[in-house]
Each structure stands twice: as structure tokens, then as C-alpha cells.
Amino acid sequence: MSNPKKDNRVANFRLSVIDDDTHRKIWSAKFSRTGIAVSLITAAVVLSALMFSLIAFTPIRTFIPGYPDARTKHAAIENAIRIDSLENVVLRWELYSENLRRVVDGQPPLKIDSILNLRKRPEKAAPDAREIARKDSLLRKQVDSESQFEINANARRSLPIEGLHFFTPLHGVISQGYDKALHPYVDITAPENSVVMSVLDGTVISAGWSDENGYTIQIQHEGNIVSVYKHNQKLMKKSGDKVTAGMPIAIVGNAGTLSTDNHLHFELWHNGEAVDPAKYISF
């Protein structure tokens, strides 16, 4: 008995569109299995390319969850600026704590330019807990001894100006910077009715009015430091008042014949000499 003969012909398919009433052929197309596969693959590639083009080159991509749009980029830039400001604050506190440690140990304080070197120093090994407890006991004993004989007030140590943490007197824009010869102070512009605050703890040594400078207030701080605030429209403190850092002392204004706009004329004096406030305060 012989085997049936195999049919090796390629199977073809035909797709036709026929009028149902007249049975007239309107359109017809012939396909094979290979043709159908090629057509499907081609359609998938074309559709993928079209979708990629729409997403890559049109605003549709902004609707994709997680895709960074203009607002996201703007927020990222603002966050970077805030991080930079926080890093500056942390650096100042590092210098303050380092100078505090040096003063307590009887070592000379660091200069303000040394703050960059603090970040480059290798990390020190963690101190022994027993050594910390021993130094703490010695410090407590010294403090108790000074308090017993009431000499701590006269022997009080004050940090150099580079190691102090100044409070910002007014958040604004420096319209005119410090010049040792022509302009030994800074002018800070700010909106009307902004609050002026003390930069450090201290005592008000002068508060009053003058035709040229308007309402002016001067504060004496520890370490032979004096801060001066001019052209205010109102004062909140009087001579002899005790103030703390960040306490409101005046309202910014445009008072006095030497003033041309709402701003704060701010002076910082150390050991009888005017210094650049921008070196120690972030406005």
C-alpha cells in the first residue's frame, strides 16, 4: 500500500470585499502565510516608530508619570539654591564649633579663611568615652571653682568676631556694598514695613532721631562689637534696653535727608573700626 502523496504547495489566502446585493467584487488582495507575518511585523515597527516620535518630539511626553517638566526643573534649581545656602550655614557653624573647642582648650582660634580646610581634613577617630568624661569633669570643676569665688564674670572668654554667629538684620538686597574709604557700611533694600532685627545679644546704647539719618539705633555687643541701624521709620527699643539676637528692634523706612528709598543703613564696628558686615552675615 503506497503512502498518500504530500502536498508541498504554499497555502495562499485571499481577502475580498464583495457587494452583498450584486455580488460584484469591489476589492481583493492575495496573501500567503509569509506575507501576513511580514505585514504584521512591518505594522508593529511602524506603529512603534510613530509612538516613539510622538513621545520624543511632542509635548505628549510631559504626560508620562515621572517625566521632568518645566515646573520640576524649576523646583530642582530652587532646591539646589537652598542646599547651597544650607551648606554655607553648616560651614559657619563648623567654624563656630571649631573655634569654641579651640578657645576652651586654650588654642588660638581659626581664621575665617580656614573654613575650607575644615572640609578637607580627614575624619578623626572617635574619642574614647572615658577621656570625654574626664575632660568634662575637669571643665565642670573649673566652672564650679570660678562660680564659688565669683570671678567668672570678669574672666569670661569672648570669641573673636570670626567665630560669632550673626543673625541677619534684614533679608533684602545689598544696593551698595562696603568700601573702607568711601562707604564703610552696607545699604540693604527691602519692602516697606520690613522688620529690622538685632544681629547679636546686647544693650541699646543709643536710640533716637536725626534729620540726616532718621530714626537710628545703636547696640553694644560683647567682644567690643557695635552695630548701627539707620533710616528707620520706627524704633521698637529705647536706650538701656537689653536685646537678643533676632529680636525686632525697628521698622525699615526712608527717613532722613540722606535716604532716597526704603532701605537699612547698617554698620558693624569691632574694636573701634568699621568692618565689612558681608564677611560675617548672609543677607
Based on the fold, state whether residues 189 and 268 are members of the same structural domain: yes
Based on the fold, state whether residues 132 and 44 are members of the same structural domain: no
Highest mean pLDDT among 59-73, 127-141, 159-173: 159-173
Quickly state the pLDDT bin for 102 (edges 50, 70, 90). confident
The region of weakest confidence among 53-57, 147-151, 193-197, 200-204 is 147-151
Structural domain contains residue 47: yes
Please tell me the total count of domains within the chain.
Answer: 3
What is the model's pLDDT at position 247?
A: 94
Give the Cα separation of 251 and 218 in Å (integer). Answer: 14
Based on the fold, state whether residues 275 and 184 are members of the same structural domain: yes
Domain C-terminal end among 126, 144, 161: 161
Quickly state the pLDDT bin for 144 (edges 50, 70, 90). low
Based on the fold, state whether residues 42 and 105 are members of the same structural domain: no
Structural domain contains residue 62: no
Full-prediction pTM beyond 0.85? no
Structural domain contains residue 221: yes
Based on the fold, state whether residues 193 and 226 are members of the same structural domain: yes
Quickly state the pLDDT bin for 89 (edges 50, 70, 90). confident
Number of neighbours of residue 152 by Cβ within 10 angstroms: 14
What is the model's pLDDT at position 16?
A: 81
What is the model's pLDDT at position 65?
A: 65
Distances (CA, A) of 243 to 10, 197, 220: 100, 9, 10
Q: Of residues 101 and 149, which shows the higher confidence score?
A: 101
The region of weakest confidence among 5-9, 38-42, 278-282 is 5-9
What is the model's pLDDT at position 152?
A: 44
Cell numbers that stand for 20 in this block: 452583498
Structural domain contains residue 39: yes
Based on the fold, state whether residues 212 and 264 are members of the same structural domain: yes
Structural domain contains residue 103: yes
Domain around 127: 75-161
Structural domain contains residue 70: no
Structural domain contains residue 3: no
DSSP state letters, the chain: -PPPPP--PPPEEEEEEE-TTT--EEEEEEEEHHHHHHHHHHHHHHHHHHHHHHHHHSGGGGGSTT---HHHHHHHHHHHHHHHHHHHHHHHHHHHHHHHHHHHTTPPPPPGGGHHHHHHSPPPPPPPHHHHHHHHHHHHHHHHHHHHTT-TTTT-----GGG--PPPS--SEEEE--BTTTB-SEEEE--TTPEEE-SSSEEEEEEEEETTTEEEEEEEETTTEEEEEEEEEEES--TT-EE-TT-EEEEEB--STT--SSEEEEEEEETTEEE-GGGT---
Q: What is the 3-state secondary structure (H, E, C) of 22-54?
A: CCCEEEEEEEEHHHHHHHHHHHHHHHHHHHHHH
- The whole-angstrom distance between residue 159's C-alpha and the CA centroid of its chain comes to 27
Based on the fold, state whether residues 154 and 180 are members of the same structural domain: no
Based on the fold, state whether residues 194 and 150 are members of the same structural domain: no
Based on the fold, state whether residues 193 and 176 are members of the same structural domain: yes
Quickly state the pLDDT bin for 216 (edges 50, 70, 90). very high
Structural domain contains residue 6: no
Highest mean pLDDT among 43-47, 64-68, 103-107: 43-47
The 10s digit of each residue's pLDDT in 165-199 is: 899 999 889 999 999 888 999 999 999 889 999 99
Give the Cα separation of 9 and 6 in Å (integer). Answer: 9
Instruction: Pick the closest to residue 264 from 283, 247, 241 (CA basis).
Output: 283
Based on the fold, state whether residues 85 and 186 are members of the same structural domain: no
pLDDT at 74 over 90: no
Read off the CATH number of the domain in which 177 is found.
Answer: 2.70.70.10
- The whole-angstrom distance between residue 37's C-alpha and the CA centroid of its chain comes to 59
Q: What percent of the chain has pLDDT over 70?
A: 73
Quickly state the pLDDT bin for 253 (edges 50, 70, 90). very high
Based on the fold, state whether residues 137 and 190 are members of the same structural domain: no
